[in-house]
Amino acid sequence: MLGEQIIKGMAVTARNFFGSYFSKNRLTTVQYPEERLPQKGNTRQFPFLVYDGDDAEKGLRCVACQICEKECPPKCIYIVKSKDKKPDYKGQPQIYPLTFDIDISVCMSCQICVEVCPFESIKMNTEFELSTADRFGDLLLTKEKLAKPNSYYQKIHPADAAESDAVIAAEKAKAEAKAKAAAEAKVKADAEAKAKAAAAAAAAPIAPPPANPPTTT
């Protein structure tokens, strides 16, 4: 009969109406500022810079190689290299960025900067509440605002952070091993040189003592 299905439909909506007051499970929405849904594992918003240790200035992994600046499709990264050098995590002296700006009003979250960075230093942030009243000043993130500790990275992307930590540890180990090997070689060379010198001295006691060997750095 005409109208039967309308009554059925009305019953369904009525059940929804009253059900939503009694069972919380029916409600599909979340009261956002108070309640939040957990973010998905691969969430990404805008890039940030990782630093090791506690000091953002000292531990910044970025070496201002400017690959990200060149690769960035919308050209939202601006880097000024430093004139001097400071030691990186491996202890090698490296250039560091004097200025590192990302304009997140231009950034398109493509993650290419992260893909190309050879130093595991630029990563994607999950922070999304970025609204400000100043669209020019506050949306241009400077080095100070971009720098986040490694512990933060481990918190937001645990799997990726572990991977990048492993890479860094391997690099470090490799560098240390290299340094050690170099040192050993040096010691060996020194010993050889000493032995030679001793032999030479024994052969020619009046020969002058050898000059100090250049220290490996």
Partner 1 sequence: MFDQLDQIFVNALHWLVGFVPEVLRPLVTPLICISFILMVFPAFFSIITIFERKGIGRIQNRYGPNRVGIPFTKIRLAGFGQFLPDGLKMLTKEDIVPRAADKLVHFLAPVVMLIPVLLSYSVLPFGKNMTLADYDAGLLFFFAVGGAVEIAVFMAGWSSRNKYSLLGAMRAIAQMVSYEIPLILSAVSVVMIVGSLKLTDIIAHQNHYTFGIAHWHVFTPWGFIGFVLFFIASLAESNRTPFDLPEAESEIIAGYFTEYSGFKFALFFLGEYLGMFAIIGLGITLFLGGWTAPFSFLAWIPSWIWFFGKLTAIIFVFIWIRATLPRLRMDQLMNFAWKFMLPLALINILVAGIWHYMAADWQRWLVCGALIAGAYVLLGRGLMQNQKLGKRIYRYAE
The residues that touch partner 1, with contacts defined as CB under 8 A, are 1-3, 6, 9-10, 12-14, 16-17, 19-21, 26-29, 31
Q: Please, which residue, 22 or 136, has the CB nearer to partner 1?
A: 22
Range 132-140 contact pairs with CB under 8 angstroms and sequence separation of 24 or more: 135/105, 139/103, 139/104, 139/105, 140/101, 140/102, 140/103, 140/104, 140/105
Cα 183 from Cα 166, distance rounded (Å) = 25
Cα 28 from Cα 25, distance rounded (Å) = 7
Cα 52 from Cα 113, distance rounded (Å) = 19
Report, in Å, the least distance between residue 19 CB and partner 1.
8
Report, in Å, the least distance between residue 11 CB and partner 1.
9
Q: Please, which residue, 10 or 130, has the CB nearer to partner 1?
A: 10
Report, in Å, the least distance between residue 17 CB and partner 1.
5
Cα 41 from Cα 160, distance rounded (Å) = 10
Q: Do strands 93-103 and 147-149 pair parallel, antiparallel, or not at all (unpaired)?
A: unpaired
Report, in Å, the least distance between residue 27 CB and partner 1.
6
Q: Which of 57, 79, 56 is nearest to 67 (CA)?
A: 79
Q: Do strands 147-149 and 47-51 pair parallel, antiparallel, or not at all (unpaired)?
A: parallel
Report, in Å, the least distance between residue 30 CB and partner 1.
10
Q: Please, which residue, 4 or 134, has the CB nearer to partner 1?
A: 4
Report, in Å, the least distance between residue 131 CB and partner 1.
17
Q: Please, which residue, 10 or 185, has the CB nearer to partner 1?
A: 10
Identify the bridge partners of residue 123 per DSSP, sorted by sequence position. Answer: 48
Cα 108 from Cα 74, distance rounded (Å) = 7
Q: Please, which residue, 9 or 213, has the CB nearer to partner 1?
A: 9
Q: Please, which residue, 2 or 204, has the CB nearer to partner 1?
A: 2
